[in-house]
């Protein structure tokens, strides 16, 4: 096992909530973030500074950031698509500006209404803006493993975009499997190519479980020394521009796996499960997380109770 600690960035409040059919109130988002901030998480994505018409769920970005409790030692992030968003995020005291571009031209035009070139320019502008502030830019390379409209994204198409992010001073860059098209082989190819070319940069993974490969893909990253992952509480979420919206890998399921394998996370799994339960209550819906239903593998059952019920 790697001695390095695995750092999880919780994205449920943004990636998870933005596609929910119910409008979650600002007060409930703050309750959810409060619970998440008490789990040992050190990176929490709070909201998105996109235009409210594009993502109505995130229209209260400023109110959430102004009203929430900030736990010491936690970096609070927001998705920032353009310079206007960066200005709003800075005013709202966001520490990490998540910004980036999708490898797929079609996906950029749908998701952020920009060409890939325009999105890269926006990233460069946001990076330049962040340099004079106490906030930092975290790069996100969307559809890095495939696009539902254009198909596979070869490594050669990803590398020039990663280069722009590295030049823009991103020290941490997530490769996002936005619509769940990656497999452990494609994860290994991109991670290895990027690590080889930029050994000084921290490459993380943002994974979705659309085709059931979320944790297998995470394992492929772990085996290549990836220490930064994005996941969402209860596995909620999706993407409005993916034909089938399925959530991120589930934070508590992933942490359950990591702890079972002996990885350090500094996270309180019980507190994460409690936060997932609270999120279900807020949404009034069941979330796809599995440990939430099955319990931890360490929670043993009473065999005698089963024996009574067993058929003779």
Query: Which residues are catalytic, by number?
Result: 239
Which alpha helices (DSSP H) does 142-289 contain, by range?
A: 155-167, 184-197, 214-223, 251-261, 269-283
Q: Does 45 bind Zn ion (CB under 5 A)?
A: no
Looking only at residues 23 through 42 of this chain, which bind Zn ion when binding is defined by CB under 5 A? none
Q: Per CB under 5 A, which region of 10-18, 51-59, 260-268, 289-297 contacts Zn ion?
A: 10-18
Q: How far is the CB of 11 from Zn ion (least distance, A)?
A: 7
Distance CA 284, CA 52 (A): 24
82 versus 231: smaller Cβ distance to Zn ion: 231
135 versus 248: smaller Cβ distance to Zn ion: 248
Distance CA 79, CA 98 (A): 5
- Which residues contact residue 251 at a Cβ distance below 8 angstroms, ignoring those fewer than 6 apart? 8, 10, 12, 231, 232, 233, 234, 235, 272, 276
Q: Does 177 bind Zn ion (CB under 5 A)?
A: no
Q: How far is the CB of 102 from Zn ion (least distance, A)?
A: 11
Q: Does 15 bind Zn ion (CB under 5 A)?
A: yes
Q: Answer whether 225's CB lies under 8 Å from 208's CB.
A: no
**H-helix or E-strand spanning residue 290:** none
Looking only at residues 102 through 121 of this chain, which bind Zn ion when binding is defined by CB under 5 A? none
Q: Does 10 bind Zn ion (CB under 5 A)?
A: no
Q: Answer whether 188's CB lies under 8 Å from 216's CB.
A: no
Residues of the chain by 3-state class (helix, strand, coil), percent to 5: 45, 15, 40
Q: Per CB under 5 A, which region of 7-15, 28-36, 130-138, 211-219 contacts Zn ion?
A: 7-15
Find, among 185, 198, 117, the residue nearest to 146 by Cα.
185
Q: Does 60 bind Zn ion (CB under 5 A)?
A: no
The footprint of Zn ion on this chain (CB under 5 A) covers a number of residues equal to: 1
**H-helix or E-strand spanning residue 142:** strand 136-142
Q: How far is the CB of 37 from Zn ion (least distance, A)?
A: 21
Q: How far is the CB of 16 from Zn ion (least distance, A)?
A: 9
Q: How far is the CB of 249 from Zn ion (least distance, A)?
A: 10
Q: Per CB under 5 A, which region of 15-23, 156-164, 251-259, 285-293 contacts Zn ion?
A: 15-23
What is the SS3 assignment for 186? helix
Q: Per CB under 5 A, which region of 11-19, 77-85, 209-217, 269-277 contacts Zn ion?
A: 11-19
Closest-CB residue for Zn ion?
Answer: 15
Which positions lie near Zn ion, rule CB under 5 A? 15
């Amino acid at each position: 096992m790697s001695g390095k600690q695995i750092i999880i960035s919780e994205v449920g409040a943004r990636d998870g909530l933005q596609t929910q059919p119910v409008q979650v109130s600002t007060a409930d988002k703050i309750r959810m973030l409060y619970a998440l901030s008490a789990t040992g998480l050190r990176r929490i994505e709070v909201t998105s500074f996109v235009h409210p018409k594009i993502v109505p769920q995130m229209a209260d970005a400023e109110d959430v950031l102004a009203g929430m409790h900030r736990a010491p030692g936690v970096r609070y992030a927001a998705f920032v698509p353009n310079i206007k968003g960066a200005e709003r995020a800075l005013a709202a005291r966001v520490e990490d500006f998540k910004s980036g571009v999708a490898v797929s031209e079609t996906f950029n035009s749908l998701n952020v209404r920009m060409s890939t070139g325009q999105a890269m320019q926006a990233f460069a502008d946001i990076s330049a803006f962040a340099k004079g502030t106490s906030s930092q830019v975290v790069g996100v390379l969307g559809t890095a493993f495939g696009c539902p409209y254009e198909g596979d994204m070869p490594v050669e198409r990803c590398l020039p975009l990663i280069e722009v992010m590295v030049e823009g001073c991103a020290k941490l860059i997530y490769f996002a499997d936005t619509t769940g098209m990656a497999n452990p082989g494609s994860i290994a190819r991109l991670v290895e190519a990027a690590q080889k070319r930029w050994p000084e940069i921290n490459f993380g993974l943002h994974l979705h479980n659309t085709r059931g490969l979320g944790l297998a893909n995470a394992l492929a990253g772990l085996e290549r020394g990836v220490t930064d992952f994005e996941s969402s509480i209860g596995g909620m979420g999706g993407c409005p521009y993916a034909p089938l919206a399925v959530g991120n890998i589930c934070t508590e399921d992933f942490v359950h796996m990591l702890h079972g394998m002996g990885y350090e996370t500094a996270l309180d799994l019980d507190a994460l499960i409690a936060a997932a339960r609270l999120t279900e209550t807020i949404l009034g819906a069941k979330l796809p997380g599995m440990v939430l239903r099955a319990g931890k593998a360490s929670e043993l059952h009473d065999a005698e109770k089963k024996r009574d019920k067993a058929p003779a």
